Structure 1
Amino acid sequence: MPVATGQVRPDGFELDLESRAVTPDVLSEPEVDGGETSFSRYVLGRAAGDDRLVGLPVFVMRGFRHRCVLVRRDSDLTTLEELKGARIGLTGWPDSGNTWTRALLRAAGVDVKGVEWTVGPLVAGETGKDRVGPVPFPDNVALTGDGLAEGLADGRHDAIMTPFMPEEFFTPDSRFRHLLPDHRAAELDYYRQTGFVPGIHLVTLKRESVERHPWLPGAVLELFERSKRHWQARRRLLADTTPWLLDDLTATARTFGQDWMPYGIDRNAAMVAAFCEELHAQGISNRRIEAEEVFTP
């Protein structure tokens, strides 16, 4: 946002930053030099030998995934382990976030091959998203156009995985709840075990733009680093966007240090390696891609 509003400006180049409702397909738009990109789609491209995009270790979207598993309010399910053999709906198969969420199930001893998966929109009629990806679905995965939220409510699914909550989730009469009664505690424990908050989207540049301007990746990374620092400082100064934001900012700093979403290759090495391992272990990538292949120093 500081870059978009002009509070933080590029050094040595001009930037036309456009906000989109849907994550862009950078390669399909000849007029753009780069953009926000799914971490999963980028890594899968590199695994397949496609190097037309140069990924920057600038993760502009991160998030824990324990909160993303929903069940009906009257469900008896309260743990990830109880999802063995369950019927689970999710909003996209190769998505970065859903890959991280399935990793939680695998860590809990759930065989993802034994789950009955249904891929579809959270609400019927949602379009504009590739939910399938470059690799055919496994035999235990089906595609639907029906809304997952209604499927959960009427019993077709035992649980759903979604990064975005249904509108009614924020009402006192919501039919849904988080699977984990204390997802924040589970996420804190995850961080203490792994040392990272999972990366979802990153910034990429077209290789042709980088070849014309070899200094560009470093300049863009430096710009986003300055923007992030400015954003963090402003949030601490104007800590009233939610009633208890100051308390949350304080707890965040004491838990994660001064930067809970670090940029750079070295500080993200463990997270990148874990993600590459999951893509292969879950059958999304046909080959095991090493973390060192993801970013060029």
Structure 2
Amino acid sequence: MSSPVIRLGLRDWDHLVPLASGQVTAPGFTLRVDARDTTPDVLAEPELDGGETSFSRYVQARAAGDDRLVGIPAFVMRGFRHRCVLVRSGSPLTQLSELDGKRVGLTGWPDSGNTWTRALLRAEGVGIGSVDWRVGPLTAGESGKDRLGSRPLPPNVSVLDEGRSLQEELAAGRLDAVLTPFMPSELFTRDSRFRHLLADHADAERAYFGRHGFVPGIHLVTLRREVAEAHPDLPGVLLAALEQSKRRWVRRRRVLADTTPWLLRELTESALLFGDDWMPYGVQDNTAMIHAFCDELRAQDVCREPIDPAALFPDPALAAPAVPASAFAADH
């Protein structure tokens, strides 16, 4: 009897390559990974059994009683946000606290990454209500993204006019800064009109980890509820497969480190700071991060319903990935 086929829509993160290529399997199931350029809407695509989902939108849905998706605490997109604040190259601004009272653009109001970035501003004394926020696409022509969510926006949040983009508004001086999870292509050129607000964002991020002990989670993997209920062992099996894929990716990356000039140095520094795993999966190792994020959604009024973090991942099999000893073997 053939095993059930589970189709997942995921962006092509490199740590998912072992899973997508079949090097890592999920016992009892056949996983098919649909590589996506953008985050899929799992509920809007009936051919998908699950996929990559915004952490913010997942939490908001569960808080509102919508349990059509079952979250897997595998945060396939996570990262520090200090690097995500851009200003003009000639801007006098150099600190997060200096954004108080400024005009700041961002790529989506309820987005997970932007929620974490606004949390950094709040920690520096910049209130959500003390910024003139403008929501819009980073570059002209972007479409197909829900930037506003389903709730009324605060009075100090407005939407860019059709045809305008955050990067051009910033370049023209109509914005003082932009919050974006992805960088405009010209940032990687010598004559870029933009720079990071924080000259040494890596140093600020190391300090953040020292205070909080986690790297913020942005996206997680979800399954349709009917799929999870039809296969009760699938969530735990999928969590373990994602963990094994990540571990194999880490091992292979340390061997094949010549993909960028200084990757080996980055890998060494990361291991010294974070230990063997800077992006742990499972509820146990993400409890502090999950609670902090839920607190921010409430504090920023992105989510108005009470949030019970314990209700987000109630399946005991999701406490920690059940990884076989073979997954820790050396790989050359």
Q: Distance in 1 between matches of 2:306 and 2:114?
A: 19
What is the aligned partner in structure 2 of residue 182 from structure 1?
Answer: 200
Structural mapping, 1:101-180, within 5 Å: 101-144=117-160, 145=162, 146-180=164-198
What is the aligned partner in structure 1 of residue 308 from structure 2?
Answer: 290
1:290 deviates by 2.2
What is the aligned partner in structure 1 of residue 318 from structure 2?
Answer: none
- Could you give the per-residue CA deviations for residues 78-132 of structure 1, whole angstroms, max 9, x where no partner exists? 0011110110000000000000000000000001111000000001111111101
Backbone CA RMSD of aligned residues: 0.8
What is the identity, as a one-letter code, of the residue corresponding to 2:45? E
Q: 1:245 aligns with which of 258, 263, 280?
A: 263
Q: Distance in 1 between matches of 2:227 and 2:20?
A: 21
1:53 deviates by 0.7
What is the aligned partner in structure 1 of residue 228 from structure 2?
Answer: 210
1:36 deviates by 0.6
Structural mapping, 1:23-102, within 5 Å: 23-102=39-118
Q: TM-score, normalising length from structure 2?
A: 0.88
Q: Distance in 2 between matches of 1:288 and 1:152?
A: 36
Q: Distance in 2 between matches of 1:116 and 1:199?
A: 26
What is the aligned partner in structure 1 of residue 21 from structure 2?
Answer: 5
Q: Distance in 2 between matches of 1:23 and 1:98?
A: 16
What is the aligned partner in structure 2 of residue 228 from structure 1?
Answer: 246
Q: Distance in 1 between matches of 2:105 and 2:155?
A: 15
What is the aligned partner in structure 2 of residue 263 from structure 1?
Answer: 281
Structure 1 outlier segments of 4+, above 4 Å: none
- Could you give the per-residue CA deviations for residues 16-72 of structure 1, whole angstroms, max 9, x where no partner exists? 110111211111122221111000010000010101111011000001000000001
- Could you give the per-residue CA deviations for residues 215-245 of structure 1, whole angstroms, max 9, x where no partner exists? 0001100110110010000000101111111
What is the identity, as a one-letter code, of the residue corresponding to 2:135? V
What is the identity, as a one-letter code, of the residue corresponding to 2:276? Q
What is the aligned partner in structure 2 of residue 197 from structure 1?
Answer: 215
Unaligned runs of 5+ in 1: none
What is the identity, as a one-letter code, of the residue corresponding to 2:170? L
Q: Distance in 2 between matches of 1:170 and 1:33?
A: 37
Indicate if the aligned counterparts of 1:22 and 1:128 stay in contact, CA closer than 8 A.
Answer: no
SS of the equivalent of 1:16 reads strand
Q: How many equivalent residue pairs? A: 297
Q: Which moved more, 1:15-24 or 1:197-206?
A: 15-24
1:10 deviates by 2.0
SS of the equivalent of 1:18 reads strand
Indicate if the aligned counterparts of 1:35 and 1:204 stay in contact, CA closer than 8 A.
Answer: yes
Percent identity between the two aligned chains: 64
Indicate if the aligned counterparts of 1:276 and 1:288 stay in contact, CA closer than 8 A.
Answer: no
SS of the equivalent of 2:18 reads coil
- Could you give the per-residue CA deviations for residues 150-202 of structure 1, whole angstroms, max 9, x where no partner exists? 10010000000011111111111111111011100000000000000000000
Q: Distance in 2 between matches of 1:106 and 1:74?
A: 25
Q: Distance in 1 between matches of 2:312 and 2:177?
A: 33
Q: Distance in 2 between matches of 1:114 and 1:122?
A: 22
1:209 deviates by 0.7
Q: TM-score, normalising length from structure 1?
A: 0.99
Q: Distance in 1 between matches of 2:120 and 2:312?
A: 23
